[in-house]
Amino acid sequence: ITSTLDAGTVVGALNSLYPRIDERAKCEGIEKIKTLGDSNMAAAGLFGKEPAEKNALLLIRFAKGMLKDIEDFNAASNVKLFMRIGINSGNLIAGVIGKTKFVYDIWGDTVNVASRMESSGVPSRIHVSESTMSLTNKFIAYTEPVAMEIKGKGIMKTYFLR
């Protein structure tokens, strides 16, 4: 999109959309980690003792809300944006490293797989790992498994929300 629009239009569009997502994250109790280019990283359950199932459901609700935010944005904007969403569940490492420009970040296999769910996903769909599907399948309807080659992991069973 940045190759077809001027900088002011792109920044204006993102400044219209991102406050909606930021407010949704705040209301849902989602921890926004960072925005990197056209990617937005967020997590649930970093500071609490909630069960993994509840955190996975929270992230799915947040993801559905983001898709609604994009839909509402697109209905009112000349700039049309699309989002791929990837979710994975599991342990991770969190913290601040370095001595300058402190940034809270998260690392680990769980984060890498979530990123791969996003990058191998489909616009306007929520793509989840088997671990997230296993935690939430009592409450969420999923497609049949889709076997995908996931960079650094090999073939993995993945799922899309119906």
CB 141 within 8 A of CB 161: yes
CA 70 to chain centre: 13
Active-site residue, selected from the candidate residues 26, 80, 151, 153? 151
Closest CA to 70 of 33, 21, 23: 21
Reply yes or no on whether 151 is catalytic: yes
CA 48 to chain centre: 20
Closest CA to 60 of 113, 125, 16: 125
Active site residues: 116, 151
